[in-house]
Amino acid sequence: MREIQSFFVSVWYLFRGVLKRFYFWGLSLLLDPFDFYDRYIKQLLPESWRLNVDIPPLWGQYVLIGLIGLTVILSYHELRGYSEGIKQENKRLVARQQPRLEITYREDPPFNQLMPTPGVDKFGNSLPGTQKIIRIGVHNLSPTDSIEDIRVELVQIDPNIIHHLPVPLHTMHGKDDFNLTPDETWYAEVVSVFYEAEATPYKDHFALWQSVTGISNVIPAGNYKLTIAARGSNTPPAIRNFLLGIDTDNKYYFRSAQEI
């Protein structure tokens, strides 16, 4: 049924295009059998300007058919141009709906960075040790288009121990939002895990790299599922789940939930 409706719509646009080009085929009406020149125009001209042309009666029909055929061709060409324009616009709309951002993670730097930074326990006491900053990457999948105003957020944590989500996450080198050129990657800091001198995970807390001032970034050490989103202008958000915790060997883990 939809194809039939589309066919009649196309026929209507073609017919309208032919009518719109009346100035082409309407000229044939000046020929026989509607010889307006001989009947009207010729009488208004000076004697020296008058042309005595004997046009065969069938010429009017032939010219009319030929000019209508020409208007059909021109109308078809116009409709094809409209159709190509609609196809290109649909491609642009589909491209906007396709994911252009990707959240990535690997074990190597800069995704994981060790810093000789004293830890802080839940009472605020300084602890000797090493801080490992865990980052995720945000990659622009488009080979041609830049993406602007990208921000990374922690949108959910399970178990739900944070009641003010979503919260923005720090990006590497402290930018709140950033732009990505085609095929570029930038990094957002998610969490820090603190180690004692013996390289044992300090089990008191994790430190989330949320950038909201006045809100504690400390959460009890435990096993969590984090949902992180990257959002940018004119593109769907990229969303990915990660698992954070301490395993039975007292070693921390941070990995994609899809790897389980």
pLDDT of the residue at 199:
45
Asked whether the beta carbons of 200 and 160 are under 8 A apart, the reply is no
> pLDDT tens digits for the chain (260 residues)?
666 666 566 666 666 666 666 655 565 555 554 466 666 666 777 777 766 666 666 666 666 677 677 777 777 767 777 777 777 777 666 655 565 899 999 999 999 998 876 655 666 666 677 888 999 999 999 888 899 999 999 999 999 988 889 999 999 987 778 999 999 999 999 999 877 644 445 557 888 999 888 888 889 888 999 999 999 988 889 999 999 998 877 788 999 997 54
Judged by phi (left if over 0) then psi (alpha if -120 to 50, else beta), residue 124 lies in: left
Task: Tell me how far apart the alpha carbons of residues 252 and 245 are, in angstroms, rounded to a whole number.
Answer: 6
Give a three-class secondary structure readout of the chain. CHHHHHHHHHHHHHHHHHHHCHHHHHHHHHCCCCCHHHHHHHHHCCHHHCCCCCCCHHHHHHHHHHHHHHHHHHHHHHHHHHHHHHHHHHHHHHHHHCCCEEEECCCCCCCEEEECCCEECCCCCEECCEEEEEEEEEEECCCCCCEEEEEEEEEEEECCCCCCCCEEECEHHHCCCEEECCCCEEEEEEEEEEECCCCCECCCEEEECECCCCCCCEEECCCEEEEEEEEECCEEEEEEEEEEEECCCCCEEEEEHHHC
Task: Compute the radius of gyration of the chain from its Cα atoms.
Answer: 37
**Pick from 232, 259, 246, 250: nearest CA to 102:** 232
Structural domains of the chain ordered from first start: 2-97 (no CATH), 101-259 (2.60.40)
Instruction: Give 150-166 pLDDT, tens digit per residue.
Output: 999 999 999 998 888 99
Q: What is the pLDDT of residue 17?
A: 66
Q: What is the pLDDT of residues 81-132, one digit of tens each?
A: 777 777 777 766 665 556 589 999 999 999 999 887 665 566 666 667 788 8
Q: pTM to 2 decimals?
A: 0.61
Q: What is the pLDDT of residue 56?
A: 61
